[in-house]
Amino acid sequence: MRQEPFVVPGKLVVPYRYFVGRLASKALIALRDDKKVMGVRCPTCNLTYMPPRSTCGRCFSKLEELVEVGDKGTVLTYTVVYHKEPVHPMEPPFVYGLIKLDGADTALPHFIGEVEPEKVSIGMKVQAVFKDKREGNILDIKYFKPQ
């Protein structure tokens, strides 16, 4: 006798938290309190990482030198999201971009706003738009808008 498969709906609900550490705390506090976007410099490789990290993957140096990378940058690439998913942070359509800030050597993933998705382009110059009420995380930048 064949029966319908027995499937039970369930959930996994756990309140996690994440400690960003000393270096990233300093960088995010500068963002929160002074609207300063900080990266970290590797003096050995002469590279500035954004987001900051405390070890250089290339040379394994300890990184401690936070530097301001500015709130302006260039779109390296982007994608437009048209479909709706519960995990998405906002209503579609919206744009995800990889943005190389002027003072950084690496790209920051973030949103691109205040522009029609069709008008976003690679190489576009953009500028950070800050939230009024900032909490000390990367979403204190609301999105990047065209300069």
Partner 1 sequence: MTEKAGEEFLVMPIPLELPFQWAAGSYHGRTLREIKDNNRFVGIRCPQCKSILFPAAMVCPLCHVKVGEDWVELGEKGTVEDFAIVEMSVLDPSTGKERVESQPQAVIRLDGGAVMEHRLEEKDPQKLRVGMRVEAVFKPEGEGGKGDLTDILYFRTIEK
Partner 2 sequence: MAERVAIVGVGQTYHRSRRPDVNQVELMNEAVRAALDDAQLTLKDIDAVVMGNMELFEGNYLVDMWASDGIGSYLKPGMKITTGGTTGATISCAAFTYAASGLFNTVLAVAFEKQDEGDTRAGLISVRDPLWDRFMAIGAVATFARMGRSYMRASGCQEEHAALLRVKADRGACRNPYAHLKLNLTIEDVMNSRMLIWPMRLLYMCPTTVGAAALVVASERKAKKITKKPVWVQDWVTVHQQSARVHRPGEEARVRTIGVGETSHERAAQLIYKRNGITKPIRDIDVAEIYEPSTWGELIWYELYGFCEPGEGWRWAEKGVTDMEGEFPVNPSGGVVATNPIGATAMIRIVEAALQVRGDAGEHQMTRPVRRAFTTAWGGQNWTVATLLSKSI
Q: Which residues bind partner 2 (CB under 8 A)?
A: 8, 10, 12, 14-24, 53-58, 60
Nearer to partner 1, 24 or 56 (CB): 24
DSSP result, 86-128:
TT-SSPSSEEEEEEEETT-SSEEEEEE-SS-GGG--TT-EEEE
- Residue 95, token pair as written in the block: 């744009």
Q: Does 12 bind partner 1 (CB under 8 A)?
A: yes
- Residue 31, token pair as written in the block: 């963002």
Residues forming beta bridges with residue 118, ordered by sequence position: none
Out of partner 1, partner 2, none, what residue 137 binds, judged by CB under 5 to 8 A for its kind, is partner 1
Each residue 20-59 as x (binds partner 1 by CB under 8 A) or -, in order, gives xxx-xx--xx------------------------------
Interacting stretch for partner 1, rule CB under 8 A, among 4-12, 36-44, 51-59, 103-111? 4-12
Specify the residue for token string 């500015």. 70
Out of partner 2, partner 1, none, what residue 60 binds, judged by CB under 5 to 8 A for its kind, is partner 2
Distance CA 27, CA 22 (A): 9
